[in-house]
Structure formats: C-alpha cells, structure tokens
Structure 1
Amino acid sequence: MQSDYSFHTTSLTRVAEHHPQAIDFWETARSLGVPAALWRLPNQREKHLIVSFDEVLPRVAADLDELPAGFLISPFDNITDGLSDDEKSAKTLFLRADLQVVFSDNNQIDIKNTAEETAADFWQALMTSARRSSNQAVSASAVTLLSEPDIETNYVRNVAEAVEAMQRGDFRKVVLSRTKHVVFADAPNAVSLFDKLCQTYPTAFVSAVSIPERGQIWISATPERLVSTDANGIFQTAALAGTQSVFNPDGTTKRPAEAMWSQKEIEEQAIVCRYIIECFKKIRLREYIEEGPKSIVAGNLMHLGTRFTVDTQAVRYPQLGTVMLRLLHPTSAVCGTPRDVAFSFIREHETHNRELYSGFLGPVNIDTSEGAATDIFVHIRCMKLEGKLATLYAGAGLTEDSDPEREWQETEMKCQTLLKVILTNE
C-alpha cells in the first residue's frame, strides 16, 4: 500500500496539506474497535496519543520497571495487600503503545510504530478519516443536567455518619464521593472536550482514554501526581488535600500566598503527608526532599500541596516508582486512614461503583529527548462517557471537624472542573 508515510522508520515528521490530526487517529481507533489514550502532561504543550491493537486489554501487574511503553489505567478498588500475584494483576488495564504519536505546536507530528504487521488496516482507515474530517467541523451538542433530588440528602447523611464515626475514634479520615449525570443531545466528541480541557487547565494532567471493551471513554483533568520517574531517575510524588474556591466572594481571583486555610483543611493535608512518609519508612527510605505545604491553584480550585522528591540513583533504588505505587494506592487523599477501615466505610455507604474514578492512570516508559519517563496520576476530576451519557465523579476528604453541608458544596465545586467545559460546548 502506497502512502506518504513510512512505518519502517522509527519516527518521522509529516508536513502536508491534509495531515492527520489527533481526532483522526482517535476516531480511526474507535472505528476499528481498538483502545486509544490521548494525554498532555502538566505545564507542557505537546499532546501524545497511543493506540493499542489489543481489542481486549491485558490486565497487568503495575510493574513500572518491566512494562513496555504504554498507558496504565487502574480502578480505585485495586488494593493488593494479602493477594496472590494472579489476583494482583486482575484489575489494572494496560494499553501497549503499538502506535505512538506526538503532536507538536508547530503542526508537526512524530510517529513511532512498533507493530508494523498489524498497522496496515489502521493506516488505510486513518487516511480515509483524515480526508473526511478535513471537510467537517466538529458540531456542538446541547446538554441536560439530570435531576437527582435525593443525592444531596443521602450524601449529607453519609457525611454526618462518617463524622460521628471519626469522633468515636473509628478512623481519622475518609473520602466520600458522589456522582452527577449529564445527557448530551448527541454523543460528544471526546477530542474536542480534551482540547478544551487543555486550554482551560494548563497545569493539569489532561487525558482521554477510549476502552471499547467497556463501551467507555474516560476524560479527566487531574491536578494530583501519584508517582513519576524521569529519564534521570528523579522520583516524585505529592500530597494534595484541602479545597477552596480560587475566587473571592466578589469574583476576583485569590493570590495563592494569601489563601486562608482552616484547621480542618490543614489537618486533612497533613494526614496525606504522613501517609506518604509512612510509606517511605516501610522501605527504610530517609533521603527525600519535602517541599510544602503551599497553596496550589488547580483551575477553579485551590489546594494545599506538598511535593516529595527522591534521586533514585543516589539512593540506589531504581525500583522506587513501582514500590511506591503499590504502597501508596489508594492514598488517603481518595480513600482515608487507616486505609482498610476507611475503604470498608466507603464500600458500605457509597451506592455507586467508582470504577476507574480515584484509581490511577498515566503513560509508562514513554520515550523523551532524555530517555524513558513514567508519569502516573490520581484519577480525579474525571468523567465517564457512555454514548450520550456522562457520569461525573467528585469526592471530599472528611475529618471529625467536617461540616456535611460544606462538604457537599466542595463536591459541587469539583464537578465544575469538567462541567464548565461541557456547558460551554453548546
């Protein structure tokens, strides 16, 4: 098959009148029923896309040192303590990077193909998609917020029960989540929503993941890094908790240095920090840099954040990313502490299945100019798309000082992260 592209080279740059865009690769993958992941790292402009030619995604152990280039996405309910190796690998989905594309600011694309024998059908479909989309604009779609009259009452009641349990000393923190549902007049264009999120939230990790076997697309703009290791072996994780609006009552924007935090919010964030430090202690790691807490702006919200950094080469611990990922998830920022007690409370009181919300996701061993890098984030500020129906997820970290009505309002603010983008799509 003749083409202006050659998949027999490791990477290439194509400049042509109608070169494929991210939407073309994305829609081609969907038309062929294969998974795809599209993402943009915080404070960067390049967009990345991978396509896996596995119609059914493998379930893998989250071993960042052994996995090939690809994209991990894991559910919240993925606690591995006390499980066999087979049970541990049953839930984390892995999109192998059979096709990798980088979209640069200057309208150039770099392509790397690692599955040449299976790419021919994809490439032929891609060129058809590119010709079609070059003559079609992405249409907007009206949206309707579904009325759910009992959800606030139930959430406030559950928060009150959690506060009573913490005041009795049953546990110290728990994160309760809820959902909000939106119906589109037409199935929305995920790439269009992704692009809007990239524009609106430049400091977030923005992603869209298509999982055909589940009939789902997950879209998120998360501010919370779980683990990352760059090409130089620098490991990072972060504690992010406590939430307030980035706007003053008069509508002006707050300066992070002037943000006022309540004792409840300070303690909530400190619990997450202590959780990370306890994980370091479990592996006898003492050589880390702790920066914070300080106010972090994440779109329409502000959080308290602390960053932890480790030079894995200096401490001779190249597997630190994998080890910490298994120790940290699910962190007290999305579950609670003690973890097992909080997890049980969540399962007893939340009526929805979190699925991939509050799990983790991100690119693994992706080539950069300096070498392979891994960036895994906590899957929050996200929504699940199933045809015309979107399910948004939001949670609030609760302590014994929590006020149920205020915690409900916090979840409403978090839903606005995605809602403001959705509603401007009309």
Structure 2
Amino acid sequence: MITTTLEKNNCRQQLWKSAKQLAFPTAMWRLPRQTEKHFLTSFSAIPEQTKIDFEELGPGFAFSPFVNIDGKNTFFLKADLHYIFTESDLNNKEDLQEVIVPSSLNPQFIDLLASLDSDQKKVYQSTFDNQEQSQKQDYINLVEKAVDQINAGSFQKVVLSRTKKITLSSDFEVVTVFDKLCKAYPSAFVSAVSLPHLGVIWMGASPETLVSQNAKGIFRTMALAGTQSAYDADGNLIRPSEALWRQKEIEEQSFVTRYIINCLKKIRVREFEEEGPKTVIAGNLMHLRTDIIIDTVEINFPQLATVMLDLLHPTSAVCGMPKVPATEFILANEGYDREFYSGFLGPINMQTNGNGQESHIFVNLRTMKLQNEAAILYAGCGITADSNPTKEWQETEMKTQTLERVLNAEL
C-alpha cells in the first residue's frame, strides 16, 4: 500500500509536494464542524471542464468560476487518489482513516512520494517587497455609483468586491496555513485547490453552503448575508443572541432568502423547511443566515441538487438582484476579473464520516489566490439603497482579516 512510504506526521505535506512536483490538480478540504481532512489528486494534467451533474459524475472535486457560461466551465478534479485523515483525541496526531486508490495507481507518484524529504526547502519564498495600493477612494466611488443606479431603478442590490495583495512570508507552507485555517474557523469550509496548468493555488475558509445533499437525500442550501464584527468596541465576543442588526443588513439578507424561494417556485417545490434568519459567527464576523432543508426522497426529486445548482449560481449574495443587471454592472465596473472568487467549489459524491457518498458545494468566499509568491485576497459586500460607502469599505477590510490573521502568523 502507498501508505507504507509515509510518516504519519508528514503525510499531507508529502502528498501535497508530490502532486505539485508532478503538476497534478489537487484539492484539500475540511467540512464545517468536522475534524476529517481530505486530500484528493487527479492524475490528469488538466482537469475536465464540465457541467456539474451529481447523478452522472463519479467521485471528485468541483471548482467553478464566478462567470460560468451555461454551467459548463467548472473544473472537475476526478478522485484518482483520495485520502481521509482524522486527528487522534489522545495525541493530536493524524491517522490515516481511509484510502481510495484507483486500480492503476500512477507509479511516478509512488516513486516521488517515497523519495521526498519532509524537511525539504519551503516551496514558497517571498522575493519582493509588499506593494500596497490604496483602493479606498476608488471603492467608495464605485459604491456611490451603485447607489445612484439603485435609486434610478436599475437594480435593487449589487455585490461589489475588491482585492488586496500581500507578499507571502519566507516560511509559507500551504498545508501549514490550511491547518491554521481549520483551527481558526471550525464552522467554515476550509480548502486549498491547486491548478498547476494555470499556475495558481486558491485557499479559503468559506462560511456559505450553496447546495449539499447527503446519502439519505437531504438537500440543504442557505441564505447568508448581512455582516458586522463579532466583537464589540472593547474586543469582547458578542453573543449571537445579543446581536443588533440594521435595516440595511436585514433587507440584504431577505433578498437572498427570497431569491432561493423563487428558485424553488420555478421548479414547483413547495415542501421545504425554513430555519431562520438567525445570527451566526464566521471567524471575526457575524452574519444573518436562513437554512432551507428539503427531503428529496419524500418529494421524489433526486435531481434537486443538480437543478438548484444551475438556478442558484451566482446567488444574490455574490451578485445582486435582479441577477442580470447586477451582473452586468459588476462586469462593467469592478475593474478586475473575479476568476474563481464568488464561484463555487466542493467535493462531489465523496465518502464522508462513513455515511456513504455525499456532495457539498460552497460559495468561494473568504478566499485568496496564491501566485507569483504573493497572495491576492478577495472581499465584497452587498450594496443597497441604504449603503454607506465608507462603512462598506470597512466591511471589506473586516472580511480580508479572515485570511490576513493567518498569513501574519497571529494564530
């Protein structure tokens, strides 16, 4: 077995370095409120681009951009190799729980895996100074323009984003940062996706489920919107039950909830459970969340996850309302390509917790792109008629802190 060549403490480091050296597309992830950590590699140099159909695809990992024409531009990393790691409660060391190996394992991968030294030189080294550019005024101007368009009746809401560039430290390691994110954000979907043919790695800790369906056919999605700091002025954590929300955030969240319900109406699904809105903590932030739960077996609709993924993406939580004019405004005015930010990602038809095959797709938020020895951080916020441009800028600053704290080794 391939595991005989690995030391338990360095399994994922060696796996990640082997896949990177062979230019294999790779994903690591940990589901919200779980301890299992997953590692998946595809032995195809360029992953397939396809439309996601949960009933037709085998085990793998989906990674989709914000702009996805007809849903066919999603990368699908086939699970040629899938490891599941779990942490021992006694010694906090990783143990290999399960291995899924193809019938014909890539011999090049085995040879390289056995030869790697876990203490080899760090992969990422910083070679240039941090180049900070103030985007504050540009972003404020953009928000003001959006509010003018809302007041003119062009749309009701639009989600505007920006980027922030940070130089990676000399000791940066993907697996180490991944583990820090898992520790810091236990309720988030933590991920790292390497696409060698594009020369990029994307990492993040997303709080938002787009669609999920477990082995029993229970479908879930959520409306997550509205943002405020999870800490008061004195630095104390605010209890969710004591959070106060402005009309702007309440309205913003209701837009997303109505959008999901309207999608269900389009396909004549009326038997659903609605929980919320309730206040939830995601790292250093609080959000309003409403959960939508449907028993697909009871309503005899096994294809629901596939249909809803097509209808929901991009949701009003990352785009706006109505979708078409909001998207057109984003593409014409944001001034950069979102690429995979505010797209979607997650495991499809994979084993989880020994409960059979499940699929969990998340919105790619609280994310960063690693390229050319730098990290590009992404953050956005929903703009409505009541938006204050300066406060919207401050909200994007709070959101980038989710990843900045980890990169700055404060954890």
TM-score, normalized by the shorter chain, greater than 0.5? yes
Q: Does 1:128 align with 2:115?
A: yes
How far does residue 188 in structure 1 lie from its aligned partner after superposition? Answer: 2.7
Q: What is the aligned-residue identity percentage? A: 48
Indicate yes or no: 2:84 matched with 1:102: yes
1:49 maps to a residue whose letter is F
Match of 2:12 in 1: 22
Following superposition, the deviation at residue 117 of structure 1 comes to 2.6
Secondary structure of the equivalent of 1:45? Answer: coil
Write out per-residue CA displacement over residues 269-288 of structure 1, whole angstroms, 9 at most, x where no aligned residue: 00000000000000000000
Residue 258 of structure 1: aligned partner: 242
Deviation at 1:141, TM superposition (A): 6.8
In the alignment, the residues of structure 2 paired with residue 18 and residue 330 of structure 1 have an alpha-carbon distance, to the nearest angstrom, of 40
What letter matches 1:78 in structure 2?
A: N
- Residue 390 of structure 2 is aligned to residue 386 of structure 1: no
Report the AA paired with residue 370 of structure 1: N
Distance 1:45 1:385 in 2: 25
Question: What amino acid is aligned across from residue 81 of structure 2 in structure 1?
Answer: L
SS of the residue aligned with 2:51?
coil
- Whole-angstrom distance in 1 between the partners of 2:231 and 2:86: 33
CA distance in 1, matches of 2:62, 2:52: 8
Query: Which residue identity is paired with 2:52?
Result: A
Q: Gaps (5+ residues) in structure 2?
A: 89-93
Question: Which of 100-109 and 295-304 deviates more?
Answer: 100-109
Say if 2:41 is the partner of 1:51. yes
Give the Cα separation in 2 of the matches to 1:17 and 1:76.
39
Name the counterpart of 1:83.
none
The equivalent of 2:164 in structure 1 is 180
| 1:115-152 deviations in Å (ceiling 9; x for gaps) | 343421111111112xx10x459699779643213x11
- Contact preservation (8 Å) 1:51, 1:98: yes
Q: Aligned partner of 1:28: which letter? A: S
- 1:165 equivalent in alignment to 2:149: yes
Number of the residue aligned with 1:9: none
* Alpha-carbon separation, structure 2, partners of 1:16 and 1:242: 45
Q: Is 1:33 matched with 2:23?
A: yes
Question: Aligned in 2, Cα 1:420/1:140: closer, same or farther, shift over 3 Å?
Answer: farther
* TM-score when normalising by structure 1: 0.91
The structure-2 alpha-carbon separation of the partners of 1:19 and 1:188, relative to structure 1 and needing over 3 Å to count, comes to: closer
Kindly provide the CA deviation profile for residues 232-266 of structure 1, in whole angstroms up to 9, marking residues without a partner as x.
Answer: 10000000000000000011110000000000000
Structure 2 counterpart of 1:93, one-letter code: F
Which AA in structure 2 matches 1:67? L
CA RMSD of aligned residues (A): 2.0
CA distance in 2, matches of 1:231, 1:317: 14
CA 1:361 to 1:140, structure 2 compared with 1: closer, same or farther past 3 Å? closer
Give distance in 1, aligned partners of 2:327 and 2:120. Answer: 47
Distance 1:358 1:228 in 2: 17
**Does the CA contact (< 8 Å) of 1:140 and 1:425 recur in 2?**
no
Q: In the TM superposition, what are the counterparts of 1:362-401 in structure 2 within 5 Å?
A: 362-368=346-352, 369-401=354-386
| 1:210 maps to 2:197 | no
Structure 1 pair 425–192 and aligned structure 2 pair: CA distance change class (3 A): farther
Aligned to 2:333: 349
Whole-Å separation in 1 of the counterparts to 2:192 and 2:332: 30
Aligned counterparts of 1:15 and 1:232: Cα–Cα separation in 2 = 37
The answer on whether the counterparts of 2:181 and 2:406 sit within 8 Å (CA) in structure 1 is yes
Give the count of matched residue pairs.
404
1:225 paired to 2:209: yes
Contact 1:79 1:329 in 2 (8 A): no
Alpha-carbon displacement from aligned partner over 1:299-356 (angstroms, at most 9, x marks no partner): 0000000000000000000000000000000000000010000000001111111000
Q: Does 1:119 align with 2:106?
A: yes
- Write the letter of the residue equivalent to 1:377: F
Q: How many Å separate the matches in 1 of 2:371 and 2:170? A: 11
Equivalent position of 2:312 in the other structure: 328
Structure 1 CA distance, aligned partners of 2:272 and 2:4? Answer: 43
Separation in 2, partners of 1:380, 1:209: 14
DSSP 3-state at the match of 1:21: helix
Q: Distance in 1 between matches of 2:18 and 2:183?
A: 24
Q: Distance in 2 between matches of 1:128 and 1:223?
A: 38
Equivalent residues of 2:8, 2:95 under 8 A apart: no
Q: In structure 2, give the amino acid aligned to 1:278.
A: N
- 2:340 and 2:49 mapped to 1: Cα distance? 14
Residues 112 and 139 of structure 1: CA distance in aligned 2, closer, same or farther (over 3 Å): closer
CA distance 1:17–1:215, change in 2 (3 Å)? closer
Q: Is the 8 A contact 1:103 1:109 kept in 2?
A: yes
CA distance in 1, matches of 2:267, 2:184: 39
Label 1:187 to 1:343 Cα distance change in 2 as closer, same or farther (>3 A): farther
For 2:91, the equivalent position in structure 1 comes to none
Deviations 1:13-70 (A, max 9, x none): 8698667511111110001111110000000111001000010111011111111100
- Secondary structure at 2:382's aligned position in 1? strand
Paired amino acid for 1:421: V
Give the alignment's TM-score, normalised by structure 2. 0.94
Matching of residues 56-67 of structure 1 within 5 Å: 56-67=46-57
